[in-house]
Amino acid sequence: MCGFAALAALGASPPPTDAELQAMIRAVEHRGPDGLSTQVDGTVGLAHARLSIIDLEGGWQPIHNEDRSVWVVFNGEIFNYVELRRDLEAQGHRFYTHSDTECIVHLYEQYGDDFVQHLNGQFGIALHDLRRRRLVVARDRVGIRPVFYTMARGRFAVASEVKALFSLPEVPRALDVRALSEILTFWSPLPPRTAFEGVWQLPPGHRLTLDLTAAAPAPVVTRYWDWQFPETVPTGRSEAACAEELHALLLDAVRLQLRADVPVGAYLSGGLDSSIITAIIRRYTETPLRTFSLTFEDAEFDESVHQQAMVDHLGTQHTAIRVSKQDIAAAFPRTVWHTEVPIVRTAPTPLMLLSGHVRASGYTVVLTGEGADEVFGGYDLFREAKIRRWMAQVPDSKYRANVLQRLYPYLRNSPAQGRAFTQAFFSEGLDQRDAPWFAHIPRMSTTQRVQQFLAADVKARVAAWDPRASLRATLPADIDRWIPMGRDQYVEAHTLMSGYLLCSQGDRVAMANSIEGRFPFLDHRLIEFANGLPPAFKVKGLAEKFLLKKAFTQELPASIRTRTKQPYRAPDSASFFVDGRPVDYVAELLSPARVADAGLFDPVAVGKLLEKGRAGRIIGFGDNMAFVGVLSTMLLHDRFVRPATFAAR
């Protein structure tokens, strides 16, 4: 795991200098603290910050092919590099390192741009073909590792994080209000948009090529992989056969992802997914296992009882860190600096604190259970959608309220507590049950309420901007013909998962402390298998992840296997007030003068929200997302857009 940057001069623009590349890569040195390297070759410069995990002595980048005509810098891991190397050597390729990175240049020699199809991994790649004078940039299939790029003053720049691009003086820094509208709908901007004007992200499963010989070089972006779902419910396979295949696939994914020349640990949340991964590591490999988890003072968020049950069951060497509201408030500005995007929940912050503890414990790699909910139907959203489709078909059913009450046993302030509110919350959008985003309408509507706090001129600028139309433009042409749960899963995977969970709550807060997270449930073979399953193998009745539980019955204690899914959450607005007073930086950033100066939000509306927080009356999802969303946007503006503040970092 590492950070990378590349800079290419187009036309008559000035070539990159070593000083520019040094500035770019130092901006992401936290991603690779083990050493920095740069290389300028004519009009293209490459830079790399290394986190040593495989081939500790020989894997320094940029890495080249036999005749030095192809060079690459790379962020991530290629898990099947052992098999790839064997096949490539059989075809005559010669290696000079034992790293996974070197497979990339030889695959490119062998297969051209289709080299990405052979990779099983998580990656951001920038490859320079000197002979053909072209750049190839690629991002992994599901968006685990980030890739950002921009064109400024006749030069193309690409990097693992936006702050590396902003180290170039010619790259302007301004928030994109259309992206803000998307964030305050989907929790993240829709690729290729980012939070910043003129800065783009390469979407998951996409490849970018840049022909440096063209008269007017311009990036060409193409998709090489995507989630696909059937149009009719699959039949013909038994639960037992599918469970057996799932068991084998996940074991192999974990086997591949345990490859490292450093110790590998695991996150253990106390839920089904991380427990399965931990059980596989513990029982099916000889790797000594260290596990890490979060605990909270507030019982609503704490899962320590379930974590301890798995520790006792497996006998792992376990460490739990307890995170307080004060810890969240103190670390939140640093979180936003690393996420580089507004966030509407504080949940990334405790995970950033946990990754810091993992690093201090001498570990740089952890396996996690992320992705299982999207792949196997674990979220409340999928159960809600099932109920709401039934509600649309049977609008007068007397059983409606009783069914809804079963959804949120873990919530102190459940949307299903009040009959009138429940009716309004779950009935919204029932006339859109064939829309690809039908399952997401309640969440989108709740999040969009934050937009009432926008400044009047910002509201006017985004008034004609429909985030759902933006989403529609990114969806497959045939998605309307897919089975309903397939549509639900696709939208979830391409919005919340790739844009927020794998980014703000994943890569960015782990790499803030030079920790590489690995996600066996997001092995593309496992995704392709799961996408072809009948929906009832995922959500059976209202029981989530049915087949996954069936496949790993023997590995888990009953208390873990049968417990209801409890999404990871953390205290939100309550973290920023002590005895009715906002912490100092919150009071400053949300003051009328600072809010007016940023020009993004209405100072009066924000002032009322702040007073509500003082009184301890921010309790619902909508108000909590509003508070955290406004605060994180103000922090982002303060840290990145205000020149003096950015220069001081």
Question: Taking the CB of residue 625, how many other CB atoms lie within 10 A of it?
Answer: 24
* Residue 392: band (very low, low, confident or very high) from pLDDT cuts 50, 70, 90: confident
At position 508, the amino acid (one-letter code) is R
Determine the Cα–Cα distance for residues 606 and 589; give it in Å rounded to an integer: 11
Q: Is the pLDDT confidence value at 311 over 50? A: yes
Q: Examine residue 571 and say whether the peptide bond preceding it is cis (omega within 30 degrees of 0).
A: no
pLDDT at 291: 97
| DSSP H or E segment with residue 85 | helix 81-90
Selection from 262-276, 380-394, 428-442 with the highest mean pLDDT: 262-276
Residue range 347-375: average pLDDT?
98
Residue range 414-443: average pLDDT?
77
* Architecture of the domain defined by 2-173+198-223: 4-Layer Sandwich (3.60)
* Residue 55: band (very low, low, confident or very high) from pLDDT cuts 50, 70, 90: confident
Residue range 443-449: average pLDDT?
92
**Tokens representing 169?**
């003086």
Q: Is the pLDDT confidence value at 398 over 80? A: no
Question: Taking the CB of residue 244, how many other CB atoms lie within 10 A of it?
Answer: 13
Residue range 85-100: average pLDDT?
98
Q: Is the pLDDT confidence value at 426 over 70? A: yes
- Which is more confident, 429 or 614? 614
User: Quick one: angle between helices 239-257 and 272-284, nearest 10?
Assistant: 70
Residue range 160-181: average pLDDT?
97
Q: Is the pLDDT confidence value at 415 over 60? A: no
Poorest-confidence range of 178-182, 394-398, 437-441? 394-398
**Tokens representing 228?**
């696909």
Residue range 582-586: average pLDDT?
98
What's the alpha-carbon Rg for the chain, to the nearest Å?
24
Task: Quote the pTM value.
Answer: 0.95
Q: Is the pLDDT confidence value at 352 over 50? A: yes
Residue range 66-90: average pLDDT?
98
Burial-class residue 252 by CB neighbours within 10 Å (0-12, 13-18, 19+).
Answer: middle
Residue range 29-42: average pLDDT?
96
Q: Examine residue 467 and say whether the peptide bond preceding it is cis (omega within 30 degrees of 0).
A: no
Residue range 615-631: average pLDDT?
94
Q: Is the pLDDT confidence value at 413 over 60? A: no
Q: What percent of the chain has pLDDT over 90?
A: 85
User: Quick one: angle between helices 621-636 and 325-339, nearest 10?
Assistant: 50
| DSSP H or E segment with residue 383 | helix 380-393
Looking at the DSSP assignment, which residues form a beta bridge with residue 207?
Answer: 138, 222
pLDDT at 526: 98
Q: How far apart are the first and last CA of the chain?
A: 23
Q: Is the pLDDT confidence value at 409 over 60? A: no
- Which is more confident, 478 or 567? 478
φ, ψ of residue 104 in degrees (nearest 5):
-65, -45
* Fold topology of 239-375+494-561: Rossmann fold (3.40.50)
Determine the Cα–Cα distance for residues 565 and 407; give it in Å rounded to an integer: 10
Question: Taking the CB of residue 360, how many other CB atoms lie within 10 A of it?
Answer: 9
Residues 6+ apart with CB under 8 A from 643: 173
Q: Is the pLDDT confidence value at 406 over 80? A: no
Determine the Cα–Cα distance for residues 100 and 107; give it in Å rounded to an integer: 11
Residue range 103-124: average pLDDT?
98
Burial-class residue 527 by CB neighbours within 10 Å (0-12, 13-18, 19+).
Answer: buried
Determine the Cα–Cα distance for residues 423 and 415; give it in Å rounded to an integer: 10
Q: Is the pLDDT confidence value at 539 over 90? A: yes
Determine the Cα–Cα distance for residues 16 and 35; give it in Å rounded to an integer: 21
DSSP state of 202: P
The single residue listed with the structure tokens 């949940």 is 347
Q: Is the pLDDT confidence value at 13 over 60? A: yes
Q: Is the pLDDT confidence value at 133 over 80? A: yes
Reported residue count of the chain is 649
Closest CA to 385 of 348, 424, 336, 436: 436
Residue range 137-143: average pLDDT?
98
CB 629 within 8 A of CB 601: no
pLDDT at 430: 87
Residue range 61-84: average pLDDT?
97
Residue range 147-174: average pLDDT?
97
pLDDT at 648: 45
Tens of pLDDT, residue by residue over 466-507, are 999 999 999 999 999 999 999 999 999 999 999 999 999 999
CA distances from 502 to 139, 190, 310 (A): 13, 14, 25
**Tokens representing 151?**
């064109």
For the chain, domain boundaries: 2-173+198-223, 239-375+494-561, 573-648
Tens of pLDDT, residue by residue over 194-245, are 999 999 999 999 999 999 999 999 999 999 999 999 999 999 999 999 999 9
Determine the Cα–Cα distance for residues 233 and 235; give it in Å rounded to an integer: 6
Residue range 390-404: average pLDDT?
67
Burial-class residue 641 by CB neighbours within 10 Å (0-12, 13-18, 19+).
Answer: middle
Closest CA to 530 of 280, 140, 242, 275: 242
Task: Tell me the pLDDT of the chain averaged across its residues.
Answer: 93
Using DSSP bridges, classify how beta strands 577-578 and 516-518 pair: parallel, antiparallel or unpaired: unpaired
Residues 6+ apart with CB under 8 A from 586: 329, 576, 631
